Structure 1
Amino acid sequence: MAFEKAIELDELKVGSAMQVELGGEPICLVRTDTDTVKAVHNICSHAFYELHEGWVDDNHIECGLHGSSFDLDSGRPDALPAVKPVPTYAVRVENGEVLVDASAPTNDATPSSF
């Protein structure tokens, strides 16, 4: 695993999402509570729309284009029209920094499968 700094934790408000690029991949960071940040690939598996432009609801992010919703832990869609998962990535929060390992997804999804 190759964790690298993505952002300072204070840059991301609870309940919001933002895009960063790590290892050449667009990553969507979502802060679900005070100490927890999740990371998924930023491109919706349905229509190539940036997920950080959507809405955060508990442990899900909804695509702002067609309303597909993805579980932030598994990457699986739980609302149509998406049927393919998005890649998820390991995240650590240390010393006020958000560290992400974008070298390999933690699930079976791959960005090139869209």
Structure 2
Amino acid sequence: MSADDEFPLGWVRVCATSELLPGEIQVTWDGDTPIMVVNLDGELHALEDRCTHEDFELSAGPLDGDQIECTLHGARFDLRSGEALCAPAYAPVRKFPVRVADGAVWTRDDR
């Protein structure tokens, strides 16, 4: 399989592994779903790139350790679990699977 092909079952290529260094975020789309993949010291985590409070892109916000803050109203989310950590968000962000293969990072909306 070439790096530009998709895995079976709807896997979407996010980027080359060299383009997602520790502390960085890459965003891709799976259909209508924006998915951000973040590298936390070598651990890759994928979450829906939408704040559950106001449907704003989370990837625009700052990273703070294993958390991200929505720049719109300050809601914070755990990047490992998607859990909402403070108001005004109460619902978690959807979490998605991540794979590394052929030098690339892959994810999918598995709902």
TM-score tier by shorter-chain length is 0.7 to 0.9
Pick aligned residue for 1:73 from 66, 80, 98: 80
Question: How far apart, CA to CA, are the structure 1 residues paired with 2:31 and 2:80?
Answer: 21
- 1:12 paired residue number: 20
TM-score, with structure 2 as normaliser: 0.81
Alignment of 1:38-77 (within 5 A): 38-77=45-84
Code of the residue aligned with 2:108 in structure 1: it is D
Aligned 1:78-89 pairs, distance under 5 A: 78-89=85-96
Q: Could you say what secondary structure the match of 2:44 adopts?
A: strand
Paired amino acid for 2:99: R
Larger Rg: 2
Inter-partner Cα distance in structure 1 for 2:26 and 2:13: 14
The Cα shift of 1:70 comes to 0.8
Q: CA deviation at 1:96?
A: 2.2
Higher strand share: 1
Shift of 1:2: 4.1
CA contact (8 A) 2:14 2:26 kept: no
Cα shift at 1:74:
2.0
Structure 2 gap segments, 5+ residues each: 1-8
The CA RMSD over aligned residues, in Å, is 1.7
Cα deviation, residue 60, structure 1? 1.6
Task: Out of 18-27 and 35-44, give the one that drifted further.
Answer: 18-27
| SS at 2:18 equivalent | helix
1:100 is matched with which residue?
A: 107
Q: Provide the rounded CA distance (Å) in 2 between the counterparts of 1:68 and 1:16.
A: 20
Q: Alpha-carbon deviation of 1:94?
A: 2.5
Q: How does the TM-score come out when normalised to structure 1?
A: 0.79
